Structure 1
Amino acid sequence: MRRVTVKTPGTCGEYIQGWFEDNPCLVSCPIDRYSTIIIKEGPGNCKSLKPKTAKMVAEICRRYEIARREIDHLHFSMETEIPLEKGMASSTADIAGMAAGLSHFFDLRLTPGEIGALCVSIEPSDNLMFPKLNLFNHINGKILKSFKGSIESEILIIDFHGGIDTLSFNESQDDYTKKDLESFAEIVYQFEQGINEKNLKYVGEACTRSAFLNQGRLQKPYLELLTAMSQNYGGLGTIIGHSGTVIGIMYQEKDFQGNEFLKDLRKYIPVTAYADIYQNHLIPGGIKVTIERN
């Protein structure tokens, strides 16, 4: 009996997001908060899956000619640590994880790029399935630029109340001005420079610029205040859910005055404004799969 376990990271939104060379695009910001899926032989329960995840199952069956009776003999278990509708890639983590799990169960040998293409066929998706950073067209799945390096540091995430429908948000994002396009090209260059030089300060500055560029599309009331506080207490930059409600402060533990930051946060932002505060790590992307055979 086979048992496939899949762990897919969520995100604190995106390091950067905008339009580049006539393409909508993003670089996801993976964190150590996971969606977990277990696939094993047993009483079939596909009908109980979330609608988007069920769509992924159906799409893989269609594309790779897997008989429906094969799926009817599989039992799926799903649980997640990723808050929903916050811009933390909860949907992408679920559907990408399902694609990776079925790939291993049926030996389809899907690449991260193929999983990304499957995900965007269902909805605009983050690129957390890739183990290395890239600039990703979240509508058609095309990789616009690959980056040589990774980002690993700490992040403090403020989960503000409310929720965003990612699909509706992305349908409205075609109104970038020439100035916006020029600004985002500079952001991509600065982000890439930071990655190449292993300079987290440059990376953080690029993320902050992208966050403020997004204010014209989805206003975050406390972004300016939190960015100023981050700068005052040694943070590296502000990372947001461009289509969500979360704001994260990127930092290195040795340089960040975390207690003072939190005191000011609680002083200047009403506790009724946010649902929770999370402490996480920024990690490389990629989906982890383990297979057991009894």
Structure 2
Amino acid sequence: MSTRVPVFGGNQPRPVPGRTPGVHVVRQPLTRTVSGVCHGTLGELYQGPLRAGPVPDIALVSFPVDRHSWVHFTPEEDAPGMLGESGVLGEPRASGESGAPGAPGVLGAKAAAAAGLFLDRFGLTLPPGRWSVHSDLRVGVGMASSTADIVATLRCLFRLFGLAYDLDVVLGVLARIERADSVFLDEFALHLSGRHRVVRRLGTGLGFHTAYITEPGTVDTAAVTDRLLTHYRRHGPRYERGLDTLLKGFSTGDPRAVAQAATISAGLSQEVLPKASFDAVLAHREWFGADGVFVAHTGCLIGYLFAHRPGADVKSELSAFFHSLGHQCSFAQGGYG
């Protein structure tokens, strides 16, 4: 049975009676909007087995990007403080045509499920209030949009109830809902997406400038998992060599080694989930002076990695090249360096 969060005088934390020891809440003004924000990804720098073997896991090194999902909650006494059957009640979400930002939508079922699991975990009741959401991240193309929505929702709830952000709670909620990218961390990480386990944190020392496109369509990760695992078993040693190169690049702070490893991983992905533009993009890498090629392995993104920002002339050439392939080029900064 759930209970409302008690509101105490002053600003001192108080425990929720009968709940998890050491978990505290603080008074929150009823008129103050609270928000949670989570970055997305531009696919992955690596996706493959953690190590060669007959029973591989799907391991990721997600490629964080400076694009985000936002979730806001504004306490309002006359608003319905509840979860609806189709999601958390609230204002429209920006999630336009084919998953592109810009047109109205609603908070998705996965984020609503995450909110419900959070409230159950702590024995809390959502106070009356209004949700609103917005996202830069396209759905189903490899930007970790659903995971970012979930994490942003949970961060909003941690702040709403005055609870310290607890990564174990976040991972526990994600494990009940979906495979996940490591957007719950503000650093690179080698992560087992199905087991929701961080194998190695890789820090914030590296960053890249990118030029990328989104090919048509969407990819259902769950639907291609068996095909991926079969490919991993057949080519385990090749994946292992690429991952070793990538981890050494992170450990030495060498962006070009990381970009080389990302290109290897993208090439392996092309053998199982091909991108129509891959051959042309790879063939012109040196022409543009790019350090590597990256893809969303179970998505529709493909682009170039640059250790240094390309100049205006190179951006113009990249735009013309991608336009000749039938796509609009986008530029974004990925990583942290």
**Alpha carbons 1:136, 1:144 under 8 Å: kept:** yes
**Alpha carbons 1:46, 1:74 under 8 Å: kept:** no
**Alpha carbons 2:60, 2:181 under 8 Å: kept:** yes
**Alpha carbons 1:40, 1:75 under 8 Å: kept:** yes
Partner of 2:330: 278
Moved over 6 A (4+): none
Q: Distance in 1 between matches of 2:271 and 2:197?
A: 25
**Alpha carbons 2:214, 2:300 under 8 Å: kept:** yes
Q: Distance in 2 between matches of 1:61 and 1:193?
A: 41
Comparing both structures, which one devotes a greater share of its residues to helix?
1
TM value normalised by structure 1? 0.86
**Alpha carbons 1:6, 1:36 under 8 Å: kept:** yes
Partner SS state of residue 175, structure 1? helix
Unmatched 5+ stretches in structure 1: 286-294
Q: Distance in 1 between matches of 2:35 and 2:191?
A: 26
Render the CA deviation track for 1:144-179: whole Å, top value 9, x for unaligned: 222244321211120111111233233543213545
Bigger Cα displacement from structure 2, 26-35 vs 161-170: 161-170
Partner of 1:27: 61
Partner of 1:291: none
Q: Distance in 1 between matches of 2:109 and 2:137?
A: 17
Which one of 38, 42, 45 corresponds to residue 8 of structure 1? 38
Counting aligned pairs with the same residue, the percent is: 21
Q: Distance in 1 between matches of 2:112 and 2:251?
A: 39
Q: Distance in 2 between matches of 1:171 and 1:183?
A: 19
Aligned residues: 277
Which one of 234, 238, 248 corresponds to residue 303 of structure 2? 248
Q: Max radius of gyration: which structure?
A: 2
Partner SS state of residue 249, structure 1? strand
Deviation at 1:189, TM superposition (A): 1.3
Q: Distance in 1 between matches of 2:160 and 2:41?
A: 26
RMSD: 2.1
Partner of 2:120: 62
* 2:133 equivalent to 1:81: no
Q: How do residues 129-148 of structure 1 correspond to structure 2 at under 5 angstroms?
A: 129-148=184-203
Of the two structures, which has the highest relative contact order with CA contacts closer than 8 Å and spacing of 6 or more? Answer: 1
Q: How do residues 1-294 of structure 1 correspond to structure 2 at under 5 angstroms?
A: 1=30, 2-21=32-51, 22-42=56-76, 43-44=79-80, 46-47=83-84, 48=89, 49-66=107-124, 70-71=125-126, 73-170=128-225, 172-251=227-306, 252-254=308-310, 257-267=314-324, 269=325, 271=326, 274=327, 276-284=328-336
- Partner amino acid, structure 2, of 1:250: L
- Partner amino acid, structure 2, of 1:13: G
Q: Distance in 1 between matches of 2:71 and 2:60?
A: 25
Partner SS state of residue 195, structure 2? coil
Render the CA deviation track for 1:247-291: whole Å, top value 9, x for unaligned: 121112257933223333333x1x2xx4x4321111349xxxxxx
Partner SS state of residue 293, structure 2? strand
**Alpha carbons 1:32, 1:281 under 8 Å: kept:** yes
